[in-house]
Amino acid sequence: MLTYILRRFLDLVLVLFGVSVLVFLMIRLIPGDAVQIMLGANTEITPDRLQALREKLGLNKPLPVQYWDWLTGVLRGDLGQSVWTGAPIRDEILARLPLTLELTALSLILGVILSIPIGILTAYWRNSTGEYLVRLAAIAGVTVPSFWLGTLFIYLSFRLWPTFPTIGYVPLTQDPVGHFSRLLFPILALSLPLLAGLSRLLRSTLLDILNQDYIRTARAKGLSERIVLYKHALRNALIPLVTVVGIQAGYLFGGAIVVEQVFALPGMGRLIVGAINERNYPLVQGSILLVTAGFVFINLLVDLAYAYLDPRVEYA
């Protein structure tokens, strides 16, 4: 087990190195002169300003030196400064990240919790009509755009309950009820595709397991279906669910970036889109790096949890 953890950790370091190189190269690979593009989007271009910005971003040094300076800064927690405001990028991201993480986490929790009863119920609905309807609903659920669903929620709540607050943001410390009521629709819109996918996965794993010999033995010795399901089948069926949660968290985060725009929530979505429109490349770069590194770690944790939960996984 220890060698497995070490190996996975080494993989993680390699992937993070690759991610850092790609993100670092982002500004350098921009077709044309990145500095000119950045300046042109905001002020008049003068040779002095070009030179100043180039020096500020460290673009006047050799490439390996640039990477080293940048990487050591990142590892110290310094993501550089926002080009226009001069504010530390780390602070700008940390101000927006919690909301997006809250959205992602709550949607993930809701999706996982609801998928368990739905997966179980549909696993016992096995005639051909059931098969088709469950499959159609699952695929439709996965393909419905969350940002459209959110828009529909806003419209319907305006029709049915015009005073219900749907748009905007209220900090948790200021008004907890207002905070969560404004997050209700975004969370519902984000968790539906996840719910559809996870329910389908759980159903198909359950169906495989319920056909296995040890389940037949459990039934043959007279155990009630409840006990067969909860004590024997469900525990094993939940393991594959764990493996996809890490990947799903990444999808959800991406979805949250878009859904935030629907509900005018000041999270990472607005930060990144705003940064792109202002050609504030270091901010885009820092956001992508930080979020991706976070998900690489989450996926490592998921893999380790999976290895721990399923004794059949080989650590070799």
Partner 1 sequence: MSGAWTLARGLLKNPLGALGLGLTLLVVLGGLLAPLIAPYDPLGQDILARLSGPSPRHWLGTDQFGRDVLSRILYGIRASLSVAGLSVIIALLIGGFLGVSAAYYGGLYDRLVMRVMDVFLAFPIILLAIGIIAMLGPNQWNTALAIGIVYTPIFARLVRGPTLVLRESEYVQAAQALGASTLRVMWRHLLPNLASVILVQSTLSLSTAILVEASLSFLGLGTQPPTPSLGLMLSEGRAYLTLSPWTSVFSGLAILVASLGFNLLGDVLRDALDPRLKGR
168 in contact with partner 1 (CB under 8 A): no
Burial 57-86 (b: 16+ CB within 10 A, else e): beeeeeeeebbeebeeebeeeebbbbbeee
Measured from the CB atom, the residue of 58 and 254 that comes closer to partner 1 is 254
Per-position x/- string for 238-257, each x denoting binding to partner 1 as judged by CB under 8 A, each - no binding: ------------xx-xxx-x
Measured from the CB atom, the residue of 180 and 295 that comes closer to partner 1 is 295
Measured from the CB atom, the residue of 140 and 172 that comes closer to partner 1 is 140
Measured from the CB atom, the residue of 194 and 262 that comes closer to partner 1 is 262
Q: How many whole angstroms from its chain centre is CA 131?
A: 30
Among 144, 188, 239, 309, binds partner 1 (CB under 8 A): 144
240 backbone dihedrals φ, ψ, rounded to 5°: -60, -30
Alpha helices in the chain (DSSP H): 2-28, 34-40, 47-56, 63-75, 89-123, 128-143, 146-160, 176-210, 213-220, 225-227, 234-262, 268-277, 281-309
116 in contact with partner 1 (CB under 8 A): no
Chain residues that interact with partner 1, rule: CB under 8 A: 11, 14-15, 18-19, 22-23, 26-27, 29-31, 131-132, 135-136, 139-140, 142-145, 147-148, 151-152, 154-155, 158, 200, 203-204, 207, 250-251, 253-255, 257-258, 261-262, 269, 272-273, 275-277, 281, 284-285, 288, 291-292, 295-296, 299
